[in-house]
Structure 1
């Protein structure tokens, strides 16, 4: 009886081992490619040229393997040090949005590998920053930022497209310059603001002076017209004198006291 039990145990153990091995093999034979990914089929570590799309795939266990590469839009931010056209030190931070063309994933894996960001993307950004900033002065890098960005994008597109990488967008996160240059820029901006303020003040003073001149000319013209009118009509002076007279004659008579010709006012 013991012998029968031993034989049964051996058979059960053997079958259990077979089932476990079978499950392991089955589990190793299938896999899934996620959304925005492609799978590169390797056989004994070599690229076969077969690329799996999203979904379920099959491979031979222990012989074949599948490496997954993202084809979604990815972002890489890199720092780069360069020099401007006028030899000012420039420290730039640039962000690149890119995606790998699905049909080129095999080429990238075979020639560059999975760490394509370190080997390809970052160096390309640094080279493009150096080439772009060398075409502009330090001040132009600030005032013509959009033009500089477009130049960087153009250079990056040329460098990366040959590897099957599409440049979606490039953004200049920041430009930093030397402390002395920053101080010079601040001084220049302050001087320009002061000059503008002085110009505005001068224009205001000039405008106010012109207003006073116009006002004075107006008053002078009014006085001239009034003077000519009085010369032509002396009765007006006499009428104004009567309007201001309170009706009381002076108490002291003198030959120098003027009298208004009342008779003449009625003519």
Structure 2
């Protein structure tokens, strides 16, 4: 069968202009409806732009109506965010100090549109990071290197106060700040170590001196006690006591004598052999 005959046998579809117009209207209504509503997710706010200009209204979480093709909604995160960076500063005694600072902050939900209008979405690198560095340098310069270690909580509190004031200017709220570590130069660390060694040696020498002084005082007191004892003994010695002691010694000697005279004697007295004489 000829192909032309087959084409002629197929009925031709006729689309009226009214049907085309209706279809276009349906499509326009469909896309208009889609563009008339916006959903703001949890933890976010919606910045309303009308023909590129920031509107004073801020959309909260949920479903909102907007003027289609006229208004756009920019979502912005208002949850707690973290910024951590390494900062280098100079202490009051001109020691180079390196510290790691971790900051938690969030945007003021009611002023999110003002922040977007003045800063945009790059507020972290434009505002937060420079503010952290400036606050750390300003506060660190008020303390010596040793005070930064011994007064760490006070330093952290002052940095938090300074940084909070700077962020509040741009409608950001500081939640918490953590200074993880202070690092100094190797020369300063060696000097601290030598100082600690010297202090320990001085303390040991002081304790040794105290021990020697105590021992000397003990010896003096002991000598005084012995001298006092001798003095008391001398006061008790009399002529009668000496005579009594001599008599007691003679009595003890007589008690020990076996009745025999000695065969040998010395000195100027001549020796007499009693046995031979008899």
TM over 0.5: yes
- Residue 142 of structure 1 is matched in structure 2 by 149
- Pair 1:169-2:154 in alignment: no
**TM-score, normalised relative to structure 2:** 0.70
- Residue 197 of structure 2 is matched in structure 1 by 190
Q: Kindly state the Cα deviation for residue 30 of structure 1 after the two structures are TM-superposed.
A: 3.2
**TM-score, normalised relative to structure 1:** 0.72
- Pair 1:249-2:249 in alignment: no
1:38 to 18, 23, 45: 45
Residues 166 and 219 of structure 1, relative CA distance in 2, 3 Å threshold: farther
Choose 217-226 or 157-166, whichever is displaced more: 217-226
Residues 248 and 27 of structure 1, relative CA distance in 2, 3 Å threshold: farther
1:215 to 213, 219, 222: 222
Structure-1 separation of matches of 2:70 and 2:121: 20
Structure-1 separation of matches of 2:261 and 2:165: 112
Structure-2 separation of matches of 1:84 and 1:94: 16
- Pair 1:104-2:104 in alignment: no
- Residue 161 of structure 2 is matched in structure 1 by 154
- Residue 65 of structure 1 is matched in structure 2 by 72
1:81–1:89: 8 Å Cα contact kept in structure 2?
yes
Structure-1 separation of matches of 2:133 and 2:206: 44
- Structure 2 SS opposite 1:136: coil
- Residue 178 of structure 1 is matched in structure 2 by 185
* CA deviation profile, 1:195-231 (whole Å, cap 9, x unmatched): 1222222223322332333334334334433443455
Structure-1 separation of matches of 2:241 and 2:32: 130
| Gaps in structure 2 of 5+ consecutive residues | 1-8, 263-278
1:101–1:165: 8 Å Cα contact kept in structure 2?
yes
| Gaps in structure 1 of 5+ consecutive residues | 255-267
- Aligned 1:86-101 pairs, distance under 5 A: 86-101=93-108
2:48–2:55: 8 Å Cα contact kept in structure 1?
yes
Who wins on radius of gyration, i.e. which is larger? 2
Choose 95-104 or 126-135, whichever is displaced more: 95-104
Calculate the aligned-residue CA RMSD, in Å.
Answer: 3.8
Q: Kindly state the Cα deviation for residue 175 of structure 1 after the two structures are TM-superposed.
A: 1.5
Structure-1 separation of matches of 2:60 and 2:199: 60
- Structure 1 SS opposite 2:182: strand
Q: Kindly state the Cα deviation for residue 118 of structure 1 after the two structures are TM-superposed.
A: 1.0
Choose 75-84 or 106-115, whichever is displaced more: 75-84
